[in-house]
Amino acid sequence: DTEVTQTPKHLVMGMTNKKSLKCEQHMGHRAMYWYKQKAKKPPELMFVYSYEKLSINESVPSRFSPECPNSSLLNLHLHALQPEDSALYLCASSHNSVSNQPQHFGDGTRLSIL
Amino acid sequence: GQQLNQSPQSMFIQEGEDVSMNCTSSSIFNTWLWYKQDPGEGPVLLIALYKAGELTSNGRLTAQFGITRKDSFLNISASIPSDVGIYFCAPGGSQGNLIFGKGTKLSVKP
């Protein structure tokens, strides 16, 4: 079982819907990440939060809005998504955001945009 | 920009065979991580390497951090059916992000 929990596991939404993806970890990690993974591709970094502050935004469209309410939780708010946004969204956490810290991944949310 | 090449792209294994895959980069890294991803799951950390030349084992898995800090290999000895999956190398970038290789897909020989 992964120590990073993501909900929901699957999500189907229309292009006009607003939904949120949630991620939780209780390992005391202070860095949390969102990745997007298309089929047969490696994960691509979207956002990095370090000590609850956004430290990296990899030029992600504003229809994706991250939020880190506290050190254990990370949300990704979705609004007006496009069909090409259908993918597996992975959350990860690490002790901190220094480069030599291994990241631990959740099992992802499989998102389908109709 | 930095280039990260992972090979082979895919390979077929027969139970009991040894498997080898590697990643090379045009850039120097301080960390090399190896992950395995099964269908419907997130990547799982297999081995973390922190020093140039470091050789680390985890059961039947062995990985090395190249002396030049631009490459790493992962070996699996005496493969078993549950070794099937996608293996990613992921060196650590300067901002704490991971840069993933394109993956090596291990399948069972028909």
pLDDT at B2 over 90: no
* Average pLDDT value for chain A: 93
pLDDT of residue A58: 86
Q: Do B42 and A106 touch (CB under 8 A)?
A: yes
Q: What is the pLDDT of residues A8-61, one digit of tens each?
A: 999 999 999 999 999 999 999 999 999 999 999 999 999 999 999 998 888 899
pLDDT of residue A93: 96
Calculate how close chain A gets to B102, using CA atoms only, in Å: 6
Task: Provide mean pLDDT across the span B38-65.
Answer: 95
pLDDT of residue A2: 63
pLDDT at B108 over 90: no
Q: Do A102 and B48 touch (CB under 8 A)?
A: yes
The pLDDT-based confidence of B1 (bands split at 50, 70, 90) is: low
Burial B40-77 (b: 16+ CB within 10 A, else e): ebbbebbbbbeebebebeeeebbbbbbeebbbbbbebe
Q: What CA–CA distance (Å, rounded) separates B70 from B23?
A: 8
The pLDDT-based confidence of B109 (bands split at 50, 70, 90) is: confident
Tell me phi and psi for residue A70, to 5 degrees. Answer: -155, 180
Measure CB to CB from residue A102 to each of B30, B33, B41 and give the nearest one: B33
pLDDT of residue A47: 95
Q: Do B92 and A90 touch (CB under 8 A)?
A: no
pLDDT of residue B31: 92
Q: Which residues of A touch B98 (CB under 8 A)?
A: 43, 45, 103
Cβ atoms B49, B64 nearer than 8 A? yes
Calculate how close chain B gets to A56, using CA atoms only, in Å: 8
Q: What CA–CA distance (Å, rounded) separates A75 from A72?
A: 10
The pLDDT-based confidence of A103 (bands split at 50, 70, 90) is: very high
pLDDT of residue A99: 65
Question: What Cα–Cα distance (Å) separates residue B23 from each residue in B8, B12, B27, B76?
Answer: 9, 18, 12, 15
